[in-house]
Amino acid sequence: MARPVLALIVCATAAVAAPAWAQGQPAPAPQRPQIATTKVEGTDNVYVFRNGNHQSIFIVTRDGVIATDPVAYGRPQGGAAYVAEIRKVTDKPIKYLVYSHHHYDHIAGGHAFKEAGAKIIAHKRAKERLAVLADPATPLPDETFEKKRNLTLGGTTLELTYVGLNHSDSSIVMRLPKERLIFVVDFLPVASVPGRGMIDFYPLEAEQAIKQVLAMDWERLIPGHPGPGDRLGSKKDAQDQLTFLQDASDAVKVAAREGKCWEPAEKEVKLPKYEKWPGYENNLQFVTRRYCGLWGRGT
């Protein structure tokens, strides 16, 4: 009696193990490399450096390189790997490293840049926060600014602007006026639902900040996390993210006034208009929680 049972188990295992593509489905996409450096289409000298699901930009000018966010949190060799990627493109000195805001998942790993001779620039509030926390992987900025700072190097200007509170109290907008590009980290994700970043988020002020970004002169937005299919954002994407936040705010306000913050609201609030955006299933609860803080607690 034992033999037929065994045969049945073997057959069942074989059926489960058969991959979908072997049954006529498309083959799975090859795995993405951990690190990739890509020149931004339509530019001569602007590159996106990606490490895992984080990315930043660097600009090569005739007098040196302006780099941004090392994106090396939890990756002790990540900063050196970034410098090595820059070295594949140019041997010009790395003059600046700009921090987008003070969160380690974007800015840990700066020592390799300091060793290469870069000066670190950030918003004043970023330095204040980093000084208190003293993370060994994150060197303090050498120079800070409050409202605006233009970095000009070898014929390229990178304009740094503080647009007030949004995601963190130290986020800046980096704009390349000639290329009509902006690099914005975490507070304007491209066609996706923000997640744990909502832990450090100022809901009312963020709307004003996004309106200021919309009023700037730019065409394409490079996000700090790759957008769907790695595409860059447009003004429509920025407007859509603002509308998403406003829709979430309105929905949670109703739930909050029915006494549903925190938990019932986190389970019940749905925004089906955005269900196709990456992160919808997993992240909407974080968005709801933050707006519950606002409308359910007044903070």
Positions in the binding site for Zn ion (CB under 5 A): 103, 186
Shortest distance, position 257 Cβ to Zn ion, whole Å: 30
Which residue's CB is nearer to Zn ion, number 187 or number 274?
187
Shortest distance, position 167 Cβ to Zn ion, whole Å: 6
What distances in angstroms separate CA 234 from CA 86, 116, 183, one per listed residue? Answer: 27, 34, 12
Burial (CB < 10 A; 0-12, 13-18, 19+), residue 59, is: buried
Buried b (16+ CB within 10 A) or exposed e, 85-123: bbeeebebebbbbbbbbbbbbbbbbbbbbbebebebbbb
Residue 153 to residue 77: CA distance in whole angstroms = 28
Shortest distance, position 65 Cβ to Zn ion, whole Å: 24
Identify residue 90 by its one-letter amino acid code: T
> Which among 79, 118, 131, 125 has a CA at the least distance from the CA of 100?
125
Which residue's CB is nearer to Zn ion, number 106 or number 220?
106
CA 285 to chain centre: 19
Beta-strand pair 181-184/220-223: parallel
Task: Please say whether the beta carbons of 205 and 164 come within 8 A.
Answer: yes
Shortest distance, position 104 Cβ to Zn ion, whole Å: 9
Which residue's CB is nearer to Zn ion, number 95 or number 106?
106
Which residue's CB is nearer to Zn ion, number 185 or number 294?
185
Which residue's CB is nearer to Zn ion, number 72 or number 269?
72
Which residue's CB is nearer to Zn ion, number 126 or number 265?
126
Q: Which residue is nearest to Zn ion (CB)?
A: 103
Shortest distance, position 168 Cβ to Zn ion, whole Å: 6
Shortest distance, position 185 Cβ to Zn ion, whole Å: 6
Structure tokens at 31: 């795995």
Shortest distance, position 233 Cβ to Zn ion, whole Å: 17
Q: What is the helix (H) or strand (E) element at residue 123, kind and residue range?
A: strand 119-123
Phi, psi of 272 (to 5 degrees): -55, -25
Which residue's CB is nearer to Zn ion, number 103 or number 127?
103
DSSP track, 35-79 = EEEEEPTT-SSEEEEEETTEEEEEEEETTEEEEE----TT-TTHH
How many CA atoms are closer than 13 Å to the CA of 42, on its beta-carbon side?
A: 7
Shortest distance, position 13 Cβ to Zn ion, whole Å: 45
Which residue's CB is nearer to Zn ion, number 62 or number 196?
196
The residue with tokens 């913050």 is 261
